[in-house]
Amino acid sequence: MISPTLFITIALYLAGLSYFLGALIYALPLPFPSLKQWGPTMMKDAIYVTVWVMIYNIVLSVADSILNLLGVNWTNFLTGLQNQTIELGVINFVLNFLGGGGLKSVSNFLSGGTTTTFITTISVSPSSSQVFSVTPFSKLQLVGEFIKDTGIVNIFASIVQDLFLFYLSVYILSVLIYNGTPLFITFGIFLMSLPFRIGRSIGATFIGTSLAFYIGLPLMSAFDSLIASAIYGAYTPPLAIIGQYIVEYLVARIAYIVLLAAIAGGLSRAIGETAEELPFKIQRYI
């Protein structure tokens, strides 16, 4: 099984290789300035990767400390998100069952195809009368036909289905981030350690995205409540409950995911571009 230690070990060896390659290129008496510029660049990148190798455990500890300071944790977040996803899945199944004529099928099954006359004769006009034959489950069947024909339930089923798929996607993403952040960060460090900056941008993206979502995802519920309270206030009118639910559990969460993606992009650029300028002169190590 691939472990973070494997990536860290390989990254450290590659950083050493990049440093000595850069020193060799910088020392060669070659009349190619563009080639010789790679010498200090590779040496700076090697030192930068070595720093990440030494501090990545500290970075994870700081991330956990931030979450504890804010009063949130991954266990409660994943449990709540899992329960909400299951509830939406059950509601989605019931609505699809009703919208697809399931209630009518159940009534037909329960009636067994038999007909019992409860209303024998109803006078429609003084000169005519009409006989109606109904089953014990005729009302259930009529309701099922009405639901299927009008398509009212299908509209709500479509909304709930989209909401369920969104929550399922967020839950899968959350599980991946929670269980895979150490591996993603060390894999990003490994990519950044490749010589000649082959994987620096992708590696920085792995590190920045993992950190942003690891810290940000458990704060999603607090963000939802903040947005809902800002829009509706402390009191929600009865007719606005559905709107509040949509705003709090769909619109706010989509906006929050987009916000986290933007923060991850900025953090990734910062990590990738920090290697351009180190806080010490590279000539000291030549």
Domain assignment present for residue 245? The answer is yes
Of 148 and 42, more confident? 42
Least confident piece of the model among 42-56, 85-99, 152-166, 271-285: 271-285
CA–CA separation, 190 vs 233, rounded Å? Answer: 48
Token pair 């037909």 in the structure block, residue: 108
**pLDDT (0 to 100) of residue 226:** 77
Cα within 13 Å of Cα(99), Cβ side: 17
Looking at per-residue pLDDT, the higher value among 175 and 97 belongs to: 175
pLDDT score, position 28: 85
Q: What is the pLDDT of residues 180-204, one digit of tens each?
A: 999 999 999 999 999 988 999 999 9
Residues 6+ apart with CB under 8 A from 250: 163, 166
Closest by Cα among 96, 108, 110 to 148: 96
- Residues 144-170 have a mean pLDDT of 73
The residues facing 134 across adjacent strands are: 116
Residues β-bridged to residue 129: 123
Contact 46, 25 (CB under 8 A): no
In a domain, 224, yes or no: yes
* Percentage of the chain modeled with pLDDT above 90: 43
Question: How close are the terminal C-alpha atoms of the chain, in Å?
Answer: 38
pLDDT value at position 169?
Answer: 94
Query: Residue 128: phi, psi to the nearest 5?
Result: -145, 160
* SS3 at position 115: coil
Domains contained in the chain, number: 1
Res 175 pLDDT > 60: yes
Q: What is the mean pLDDT of residues 33-40?
A: 84
Q: Is 35 part of a structural domain of the chain?
A: no
Q: Kindly report the average pLDDT of the chain as a whole number.
A: 78
In a domain, 254, yes or no: yes
In a domain, 10, yes or no: no
pLDDT, tens digit (0-9, with 9 covering 90-100), for 92-126: 888 777 765 444 444 444 444 444 443 444 444 44
Prediction pTM value: 0.77
- 18 domain residue, yes or no: no
Q: Which two tokens stand for residue 80?
A: 């709540």
Predicted confidence (pLDDT) per residue in 235-254, tens digit: 555 555 566 667 667 788 88
Is 212 part of a structural domain of the chain?
A: yes
The whole-angstrom distance between residue 123's C-alpha and the CA centroid of its chain comes to: 63
**Per-residue pLDDT tens over the stretch 70-82:** 989 999 999 999 9
Q: Are 246 and 227 in contact (CB under 8 A)?
A: no
The whole domain housing 222 covers 53-102+148-285
- How far apart CA 237 and CA 235 sit, in angstroms, is 7
What does the pLDDT read at residue 137?
44
- What number is the average pLDDT over the span 40-67? 93
On whether residue 108 sits in a domain, the answer given is no
